[in-house]
Chains A and B, each alone.
Chain A
Amino acid sequence: MDGGEQTTSGLNEWFTTPPQPDADAVRPKVGRSGGRGARWAIAGALVLLVGAAALLGALAWHNNERAEAWRASFAALQVEHDAALSANEDLADANGELSDRVRQLSSDLESSQEDVAGLEGRLSDLAQEKAGVEDEREFISIFAERLAEVAVAYDELAGMFRTCVREQSTFTDMMIDFDLYWNTGTTYLVSEQAVATGEACGEAEAYLVEIRRYVDSLSQ
């Protein structure tokens, strides 16, 4: 630092303290060689001064250039920053909208799930009703088949009773003409007819009982 201060002090001397004419210095004391040295010193000092000025100028120009570049960069960054801020705000808005949309979709989804659950419940109820109706239809179908069987059985029964009545009628006629059978010694024919009548009517009555039992089982 001492050297720097000395240098500054030296420069100040050059700029602030112009050399004063000195009668002793102007007057050559030792001939021409002493004046030439002073001129070289002055010229060297001037060269140094010009060099320093050029260096400082170059430094200043370079600093200015860098400052301009930084200003340009700053301006660009400012623009980018503003754009980023704007984009951020847009994103925030979009995010808000998306959040609202997601909430809405979640709500819609929940509602849809409830709808689906409701529809599934309704579908299950309808399926149950359908199954119940089909059960009844099957039951009625079975009952109709059994009733058809009963109708056929009653038809057979009617035939059996007709046989019974016919045999009874024959037996009654024979009883009316019993004297004839007695006189001819053929009363065994009347007896046989009585047996046949009893068998035919008994068979019909037994079948009737069977049919009634079957019908009773159906009603249970």
Chain B
Amino acid sequence: MSIPCRSNSIALGLLAGLALSCAEPPPEAVPTGEARENVVTVDELPEAPGELRSEAVERVLRQATLRVRTRGCFGVSTGSAFAVSDRVIVTNRHVIDNDAGIQVTSWDGRTWQADLVAAAVYEDLALVRIDGTLPVALAFSSTYASGDSVTVVGYPGGRRITLSHGSIVDDVSGTVFSEPGRVIRVDAAIEQGTSGGPLVNTDGEVVAVVFGLETSSGYGLAIPINTLLDVADAEAFLRVDPVC
């Protein structure tokens, strides 16, 4: 499986490095994309007939998609996220806003604490570094087209993990959604709580980060992975400290 636009390992290393660079001094070395131990990506799965491979891909998606619990000053909110390396996850900025502590939970109940949070200035994107090791990370794909089959993975309403299938409708200017870049619209079912979850293609590669719902059409909205990589390239993730 090839990454059409950029090297996945470089992107992962960059993201992990950025998250690390926010901390003074760095508490410990973070494995980057070039040396990711205990990490299995979808593209490392053995070739198998369609149904088995599909099941294997779904299993990896479940393992790599995480539930985020944000402890605010006056309550608790939940969202979704996905692993891009063995310690760094990607989610939305609005998921980690006003946090007084973030906990990340896997589909099977394991829980980690966030030890570093960084958010994009303009885009609804955030990186969270956790205090443990995640078993699986997802690969990226920066190519997509209208009509492509996609799957949204997340924890709608903070409930159990779901995989919602659909297709890409189009990509539009994100201005009306307060996003500076392009925004992908999908017809897969999206609910509150799915924010921060991955939008993946049929190979299990992350195409975009889900961030909202267009109320007029009911389409789900997602930020293309290119935007995430551009923000990472521009080093535009800023450290977020607990507010209370």
Contacts and interface: CB of A to CB of B under 8 A. Distances in A.
Contact of A134 (B72, B75, B103): B103
Given A132-B158, A135-B158, A138-B76, A127 B109 contact: yes
Interface string A94-127: 0000000000000000000000000010011111
Contacts of A123: 108-109
A135 B78 CA distance: 9
B159 interface: yes
A99 B103 CA distance: 51
Nearest to B72: A142
B109 A131 contact: yes
B25 to A, nearest CB: 30
B201 interface: no
Interface residues of A, number: 18
Interface in A127-145: 127-128, 130-132, 134-135, 138-139, 142
Contacts of B160: 124-125, 127-128
Point out which of B72, B158, B160 has the most chain A C-beta atoms below 10 A from its C-beta.
B160
A127 B107 contact: yes
B75 A131 contact: no
Contacts of B105: 127, 130-131, 134
A218 interface: yes
Point out which of B67, B105, B109, B159 has the most chain A C-beta atoms below 10 A from its C-beta.
B109
A134 B74 contact: no
B76 A127 contact: no
A146 B100 CA distance: 13
Contacts of A127: 105-109, 160
Interface in B57-101: 67, 69, 71-76, 78
B158 A124 contact: no
A126 B76 contact: no
Chain B, interface SS category: loop
Interface residues of B, number: 20
B11 interface: no
B76 A124 contact: no
A148 to B, nearest CB: 14
A139 B75 CA distance: 6
A146 B69 CA distance: 19
Given A124-B160, A132-B158, A134-B103, A142 B109 contact: no
Contacts of B72: 142
A131 B69 contact: yes
B76 A139 contact: yes
Nearest to B159: A128
Interface in A48-63: none
Given A132-B158, A134-B69, A138-B69, A124 B107 contact: yes
A113 to B, nearest CB: 10
B161 A131 contact: no
29 contacts: A123-B108, A124-B107, A124-B108, A124-B160, A125-B160, A126-B109, A127-B105, A127-B106, A127-B107, A127-B109, A128-B159, A128-B160, A130-B109, A132-B158, A134-B103, A134-B105, A135-B69, A135-B76, A135-B78, A135-B158, A138-B69, A138-B71, A138-B76, A139-B75, A139-B76, A142-B72, A142-B73, A146-B74, A217-B74
Interface of A: 120, 123-128, 130-132, 134-135, 138-139, 142, 146, 217-218
Closest 4 CB pairs of A and B: A127-B109, A128-B160, A138-B76, A139-B76
